[in-house]
Chains A and B, each alone.
Chain A
Amino acid sequence: MRSFEKKDMKAGVLAILICAMFICIGFSGCTQQQQEEQTEIKNPSTIVKYDIGDAKTLDPADAYDTGSSEPIFQIYDTLVTYKGNDTLTFYPCLATEWSVSNDSLTWTFKLRQNVKFSNGNDFTAEDVKYSFDRVLTMAAPESGVDWILAQCMDMNSTTVIDDYTVQIKLTQPYGGFLSLLPFTIGAIVDKDYVEEHGGVVAGVENEWMKSNPMGTGPYMLDHWTRATEIVLNKNPNYWGGWEGKHVDKVVLKYADEAATRILALKNGDADFTYLPYTNLEDVMGEKGIVVHPFDSYDIIMCVINTKVTNNVYLANGEVRKALSYAFDYDTAIETAYSGYASRLAGAIPNGMPYYDTQNNGQPLYNYDLTKAEQILDNAGYTKSFDLDETLYRFNGTTIRVFFNAGNAEREKMAIMFRGALDEIGILSSVIAEGWPQLLHRMYTTDDWDLMFIGWGPDYNDPDDYIFPFIASADVKGDTYNTGYKNETVDEYLLEGKYSADPAVRAAAYKGAYDIYIQEPSFIFLQQRQYIRPWRDWVQNYSYNPVREWYYYDYYKAYE
């Protein structure tokens, strides 16, 4: 040690001290709770929300992601809408009254008068016809969202009776027609405005409308700085008026980093934020912050590729049943969703009509590895393949479980599932890939086995769920290209789709369920709750599972 000089020692010690100090300071504050009196409200007439995922477009005729639909809902109005957390009652918005003919085919709407778009143009029935025809003509080239209207409307459907009356004749009876209207696809645009800026071209997107919205809603666009924020200012022409308590400005900020969003909520920069379930404990119990779960219609499932050309084992309904017994549903809810989710009985989520047609709302499958093994053995798939002194089934075939990279909850469930599959002798691999790659597998090469996916409501009707999942490709279902097909089930689902009689629909959905649950093409995992922690000075916030955000109702004050 004699060869070291004294100064070297000093320097070395100093270095260690600096590093240690860095680390200590860095994390010392983590466990502190900040006890203060009521903090002053930041930006009292502005609501700021920090979220991930920028909007892609502000054109309601071609928007199909939450990042886009959220600002659209504030800028545009629809004919009818939902209020608060009520998803069963339709409230008048741009339509004040409506009625339907006896054969359920023709709807008549009386429209609200003295409504102006934010540019001063008058709202009339012409705008309604133009908006719906536009959706059908343009055919949503970037998102395909027009299917929602196209399933029961065509270019001859909408007719203008007079300036404030419009009639819609469906192409076939559609039980849930009214519920289609509150979604962004039903937003009313200003005919003159659109015609001035590119009009409607079949199959081609309108570049101007993507970033220059013009609506009758409470807010209008101030600026959209990509990847940073969308700022909305109040629309002075708004027909609902500005008496009472409303905020003048809405700022939708985007920050991908969870740590940044947590700090923003804590210091009051953010009034609302999105946090992964696992970070809720970081803000729970903090003074000034409210963490409150709401029931939603968002569901998560594991899709199975039933095509025999891909995997002969998964083509067998018994195998898929066994897989349904191999998933630890409760642990998944506890660990991936921190308890903020509930079991899902079938394709229709809890809260929607006809949920109880699914085994009375009770999930049929529970975590039972013994049963899973029994089913597999009985089906003839025994543990017979030896790989490094472990016995596997399926001749050692690897079952690949896919999910989109970056989704922490699905990663967790995938790894958990892999462990369970190991225990029952199924060799599996968890693979994270980008969304375009997954699409390619699912639709072009059919090269996938299991995939975790999520689904949210486009409109408040069970048909929005069960048809795309369970109906076959022959009747334009099977959105996930599972290859599942059962003609009886298809008949039931078509009946359920087009009938307006609740009794008929209930019977149809029950019939369908009883069949498909015995050879499931989905493992129904959970229905998650919606939580956006907010500052306690926010008032009058409520969550609507279909409409989600309506800033006009909220305001900031201590009450």
Chain B
Amino acid sequence: MDNIPLHVKVVDDFLKKHESKIKDLRFMGYLFRKSLLSMIGLILILILILVALFAPFIASQHPSYVRVSTEVGTTVTEERWDIDFSQSLLPPSVEHFFGTDDYGRDIFSMVVYGSQTSFRICIIVVTISTLIGLILGGIAGYFGGIIDEALMRITDVFLAIPYLILAMAVTAALGRSIDNIMEALIIVWWPTYARLIRGQVLAVREQQFVEAARSVGASNSRILFRHIFPNSFAPLLVEITLDLGAVLLVAAGLSFLGLGASPGTAEWGLMISSGRIHMFHAWWYVTFPGLAILLVVLGFNLLGDGLRDVTDPKLRR
């Protein structure tokens, strides 16, 4: 009868099955595009991703990486930049778009490579925190009772401890490095996700379609994965996007205070910290990394806000 090829048929079936969902998504995309602020956010983040990906092609100076062993039996990779004191603290020019720092290094290149570091920190911290949160929060929310109570108390303990202290602990015990900062931040962040997921799960599990699924005999994991998680997705996405910006601010703040990147690394927070003493005679040193942080955090915030506006049915008027 039909001469429609198989693969087309499969796609057609898929589209028909999820027709309402796709319509929904297209409407959300439309609303999103209509908002200038959300688009600005999206563009900023896309720029960040591109810069991070193509850093070696954009920057004029490049770091080298050396493996050193500071503790017996372990090695760490250190980022090294060539120094040239004769070029120190030059104002922005054609050779050095953002000027140079007090070691003579090109600030533009350092900001560009710093985007890789920033990006890495944000993605890894948020991803792992979310995963941990999904698992622990999902279990707690779904099974309730004592498991839930225990999780709530544990998250209370972690949330009560200032992130500064945790960061100090990790860096003091393991040394100042980006990796250790990420570990510290994950410890700080996972309770937020655990609680969020738990809340979502609690809200969703009472709804009727879950009752229906249970009465039909669906197993717990099936309910969790097939029904609860997909419906918790939207607020989670919003939270993640906003948190990416928050993580960056906190990581920069820690490096700024001297608890993050080791001296000489191209990390935006560290650069601001090093640059701030030169504020009066070399304003570019503190301004450009600061702008970078501002733009990236702004981007994530605008994006997150935009997503929230389009995915929340109550706000769509």
Which B residues are within 8 Å of any A CB, using their own CB? 33-37, 40, 66-70, 78, 80, 82-83, 85, 88, 102-103, 172, 175-176, 258, 262-264, 276-281, 283, 287, 291
Contacts and interface: CB of A to CB of B under 8 A. Distances in A.
A387 interface: yes
A428 B264 CA distance: 14
B218 to A, nearest CB: 42
B85 A331 contact: yes
Given A12-B37, A23-B287, 11 more contacts: A3-B34, A27-B287, A259-B276, A282-B280, A387-B67, A405-B258, A412-B103, A415-B83, A416-B85, A430-B263, A431-B262
B278 A278 contact: yes
Nearest to A263: B280
Nearest to A7: B36
A230 interface: no
A8 B35 contact: yes
A437 interface: yes
Contacts of B258: 405-406, 432
Contacts of B103: 412, 415
A44 to B, nearest CB: 28
A444 to B, nearest CB: 15
B70 A429 contact: yes
B277 A408 contact: yes
A155 to B, nearest CB: 42
17 contacts: A3-B34, A9-B36, A12-B36, A23-B287, A23-B291, A30-B281, A279-B280, A335-B88, A406-B258, A411-B263, A412-B102, A415-B83, A416-B83, A428-B68, A429-B70, A431-B70, A432-B262
A432 B264 contact: no
Contacts of A427: 66, 68
Interface in A1-29: 3-5, 8-9, 11-12, 23, 27
A258 interface: yes
A259 B68 contact: no
Given A415-B103, A431-B262, A334 B85 contact: yes
Interface string A409-427: 0011011101100100001
B36 A278 contact: no
A262 interface: yes
Contacts of A23: 287, 291
Contact of A11 (B36, B80, B88): B36
B263 A415 contact: yes
Contacts of B70: 398, 400, 429, 431
Contacts of A400: 70
A4 B36 contact: yes
A434 interface: yes
Name the 8 nearest CB pairs between A and B, nearest first: A8-B36, A282-B280, A429-B68, A398-B68, A27-B283, A398-B69, A3-B34, A335-B85
Interface of A: 3-5, 8-9, 11-12, 23, 27, 30, 258-259, 262, 276, 278-279, 281-282, 331, 334-335, 387-388, 396-398, 400, 405-406, 408, 411-412, 414-416, 418-419, 422, 427-432, 434, 437
Report which residue of A258, A262, A276, A429 has the largest number of chain B beta carbons within 10 angstroms of its beta carbon.
A429
A160 B239 CA distance: 78
Contact of A437 (B69, B78, B172, B277): B172
A415 B172 contact: no
A330 to B, nearest CB: 11
A282 B82 CA distance: 27
A479 to B, nearest CB: 25
Interface of A is mostly: helix
B77 to A, nearest CB: 10
B306 to A, nearest CB: 12
A523 to B, nearest CB: 19
Nearest to A399: B68
Report which residue of B35, B40, B83, B172 has the largest number of chain A beta carbons within 10 angstroms of its beta carbon.
B83
Nearest to B276: A259
B280 to A, nearest CB: 4
Given A4-B36, A331-B85, A430-B263, A281 B172 contact: no
B138 to A, nearest CB: 38
B105 to A, nearest CB: 11
Contacts of A418: 80
A411 B270 CA distance: 13
A71 B37 CA distance: 57
A129 B263 CA distance: 51
B111 to A, nearest CB: 16
Given A416-B83, A437-B172, A278 B69 contact: no
A290 to B, nearest CB: 18
B279 to A, nearest CB: 6
Contacts of A398: 68-70
A272 B68 CA distance: 44
A405 B273 CA distance: 13
A437 B259 CA distance: 14
B67 A281 contact: no
A48 B316 CA distance: 61
Contact of A258 (B33, B35, B66, B277): B277
Contacts of A281: 281
A497 B34 CA distance: 84
Contacts of B88: 335
Contacts of A405: 258
A262 B280 contact: yes
Nearest to A431: B70
A418 B82 CA distance: 11
Contacts of B67: 387-388
A30 B263 contact: no
A30 B87 CA distance: 21
Given A12-B40, A259-B280, A405-B258, A3 B33 contact: yes
B41 to A, nearest CB: 12
A415 B105 CA distance: 13
A11 B262 CA distance: 41
Contacts of B68: 398, 427-429
Nearest to B274: A408
A477 B37 CA distance: 68
A5 B175 CA distance: 52
Contacts of B264: 415, 430
Report which residue of B88, B263, B281 has the largest number of chain A beta carbons within 10 angstroms of its beta carbon.
B263
Contacts of A258: 276-277
A335 B103 CA distance: 9
A50 to B, nearest CB: 15
A461 B65 CA distance: 47
Contacts of A334: 85
Contacts of B278: 278
Nearest to A328: B85
B281 A282 contact: yes
Contacts of B291: 23
Nearest to B72: A447
A418 B83 CA distance: 11
A258 B279 CA distance: 10
Contacts of A429: 68, 70, 78
B162 to A, nearest CB: 18
Contacts of A419: 82-83
B50 to A, nearest CB: 21
B275 to A, nearest CB: 11
A12 B264 CA distance: 37
Contacts of A434: 172
A480 B36 CA distance: 63
Contacts of A428: 68
A50 B301 CA distance: 40
Contact of A30 (B33, B102, B277, B280): B280
A414 B262 CA distance: 12
Contacts of A430: 262-264
